[in-house]
């Protein structure tokens, strides 16, 4: 899908004070493209101190989207803002000064 037509993603939550069961709800839809075979898989990590279940991808040593006994989490994905492009206009070839909002600023090399 071309970036100009890309949706984005969404999630929403409902407080337990507003549900019949008293349990909060979390809905998460990162709008990821379906592939077969899928790169996502279900992971259940359980130990004496950890009990987490959700979806993850190969190489990630934990659950990316999931839940445990006390909390749930999700992610959003907006393909429109995956990188930023900045053009720096230097005063001259020495690159010691640059223009920003019509001001000439010194370049720092920290």
Which of the residues are catalytic? 9
Residue linked to tokens 């019949």: 20
In three-state secondary structure terms, 79 is helix
CB-CB contact of 55 with 70 (8 Å): no
């Amino acid at each position: 899908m071309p970036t100009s037509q890309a949706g984005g993603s969404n999630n929403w939550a409902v407080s337990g004070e507003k549900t019949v069961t008293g349990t909060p709800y979390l809905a998460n839809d990162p709008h990821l493209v379906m592939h077969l075979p899928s790169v996502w898989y279900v992971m259940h990590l359980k130990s004496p101190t950890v009990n987490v279940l959700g979806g993850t991808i190969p190489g990630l040593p934990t659950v990316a989207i999931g839940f445990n006994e006390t909390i749930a989490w999700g992610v959003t994905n907006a393909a429109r803002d995956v990188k930023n492009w900045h053009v720096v206009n230097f005063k001259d070839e020495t690159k010691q000064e640059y223009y920003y909002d019509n001001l000439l600023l010194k370049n720092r090399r920290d």
